[in-house]
Chain A
Amino acid sequence: MHRGSRPWDRRNFLRAGLIGTTGLALADSVELPFEFGTRPLVKYPQKRPLIRLTTRPPQLETPFEVFNESLLTPNDAFFVRYHLGGSPPPASVLDPKTFRLTVAGTVGKELSLSLEELRNGFENVEVVAVNQCSGNSRGHFQPRVPGGQSGHGAMGCARWRGVRLADVLKAASPAAGSRQVLFDGLDRPLVPTIPDFVKSLELEEALESGGLLAWEMNGEALPWLNGYPLRLVLPGHYGTYWIKHLHSIRLVDAEFKGFWMNPAYRIPDDPCAHVEPGTAPKRTVPIRRFNVRSFLTSLTSGARVPSGNETLLRGIAFDGGAGIREVLVSTDDGRSWSGAALGRDLGRFAFREWTLAWKPSVAGATAVKVRAVNRLGEGQPMEPLWNPSGYMRNVVERTPLVVL
């Protein structure tokens, strides 16, 4: 049975039991574990109370315990991140009866498609995929960096339904010499000097990305704040490419140089996207795919665990699309590691559940660490890697606990 409508009842019951918590309480705010980390919990349309990072444009973060409730993140808990003053676009510009997606630029055949024409004109497909903000976990960077100070909740995994981006691009017959594809949504700046939020992909990349033009999320219409009525879903890629309220696709024969591709959303041109803390990269490239990450979700920092009893540790792991090969868990703060059992495979772009039974015998402070390895053999660093924009954190995370 799901418990989406009144999740707190069961939690209160559990709190009275063996699992204690710190850092979160029944209150109208939460404390993220870094300076200036107090955040209000605010209820938005179609959302349960979420951690509000900013009000205008809105940035809402998923309370971390949601990741322990289900592998697919509920729509009403899915994170929200906007960039422009005119966000989210009001209902009046999102009318599904008048909405059109245009495909234009260097194409043989310009398209202007209603939602109905999209749905009926192309094969409908589904993918389970993680969306993660480039700056997820930025608040944990040391030294701290400016930008949206997220905890770990600017990510989520959903089942997306739509049509293939590649099918729609092909229907427009890209002209020879077409180089990039630009994506634009209906949110917009309030001041004409501020650049519209437009993202670009190489045409080849767009055709091979497995991207969808999606109208449905977990079996329902996209929530307003997650891109209604249509968004780009680019599995394995950071959320910056997942243009919400997508209404324009434009092919061009040159490199797009808009603000949101350069200087924004760029990482050091280095295999690990990092530089010496406090220094600037010599060369940068656009951020692209997720690196490997994994989390413990069944216990939070400071939880008390009884010795002598078996506790089932659980969490999630994901990567940029190779798929997770193994998850290793340490219950002694990194001294020894055990292989966790992997749960159902919802596809190579999805959260992969892991579990490990743990029977602590020694009372005292300890910490659980988790690290995942993908099918390419890529893992996670034991020490955090740094870059000046606070992107792509994927250090092995540590959850301190007390065994009673």
Chain B
Amino acid sequence: MSPSRRPKSSPTDAVAWLAAFPVGLAVVALAAVGPVAVPEEPPRNPHAADAWTLPAGEPVFPADEDAMPLRRHCQLCHSSDYISTQPRLSRKAWEANVEKMRSKYGAPIPTNAVPAIVEYLVRNHGTP
């Protein structure tokens, strides 16, 4: 990408930032390789002409009733794969994490929404 190729657009705000995030699945997988001579230099970037647009779509929390607090309070800042990729954790660990998000990180989670969020996390990613 050369700087001169960059598209022009208006000054940004939070909405412009938000507008940038989406998803798409790619179809090529890479498999392991055997020994060959290793070049020092990497190959040139073959995607130089790509637009400044992220893939469309993103994973979201389910529309179920018990996931509603996460749709409301967690999804503002992050996609649901921030949770779906997490390991199983104890109730205590989930409580600590939600509390860290709320009080240390400053996520706008009302105190009365915390128990339902923790319940969802324990049910889906709790240690048995």
- What residues make up the interface of A, taking CB atoms closer than 8 Å to B? 2-5, 7-8, 10-12, 14-15, 17-19, 21, 24-30, 34-37, 39-49, 52-58, 63, 65-66, 68-77, 85-97, 139, 144-146, 148-149, 188-191, 193-195, 218, 220-221, 223-224, 228-229, 259, 263, 298-300, 303, 311-314, 343-344, 346, 353
Are B42 and A146 touching (Cβ within 8 A)? no
With an 8 Å Cβ cutoff, the count of chain B residues facing the other chain is 70
| Other-chain contact of B42, A28, A58, A72, A88 (Cβ < 8 Å) | A72
Residues of A within 8 A of B112 (CB): none
Task: Known A21-B31, A312-B35; judge A91-B17 contact (CB<8 A).
Answer: no
Are A73 and B1 touching (Cβ within 8 A)? no
Instruction: Mark each residue of chain B from 37 to 72: 1 if its CB lies under 8 Å from any CB of chain A, else 0.
Output: 011111111111011111100110000000000000
Could you tell me the distance between the alpha carbons of A189 and B106 in the complex, rounded to whole angstroms? Answer: 10
Are A90 and B12 touching (Cβ within 8 A)? yes
Could you tell me the distance between the alpha carbons of A87 and B11 in the complex, rounded to whole angstroms? Answer: 16
Could you tell me the distance between the alpha carbons of A19 and B35 in the complex, rounded to whole angstroms? Answer: 10
Could you tell me the distance between the alpha carbons of A56 and B78 in the complex, rounded to whole angstroms? Answer: 5
Are A18 and B34 touching (Cβ within 8 A)? yes
- 6 closest pairs, A vs B, by CB? A4-B43, A144-B87, A74-B42, A49-B26, A193-B106, A2-B43
Please name 8 further chain A to chain B contacts, defined as beta carbons within 8 Å, in addition to the given A41-B25, A56-B58, A95-B6, sorted by A numbering. A41-B30, A56-B79, A72-B40, A85-B76, A90-B20, A190-B77, A263-B100, A298-B34
Are A74 and B79 touching (Cβ within 8 A)? no
**25 A–B pairs (Cβ distance < 8 Å), ordered by A:** A8-B28, A26-B28, A26-B31, A36-B86, A41-B25, A45-B50, A45-B52, A46-B47, A49-B27, A54-B78, A55-B58, A66-B30, A69-B42, A91-B6, A91-B7, A92-B10, A92-B11, A97-B3, A139-B87, A188-B17, A193-B106, A195-B106, A259-B105, A259-B106, A298-B35
- What residues make up the interface of B, taking CB atoms closer than 8 Å to A? 1-3, 6-12, 14, 16-21, 23-35, 38-48, 50-55, 58-59, 76-79, 81-82, 84-89, 93, 97, 100, 104-108, 125
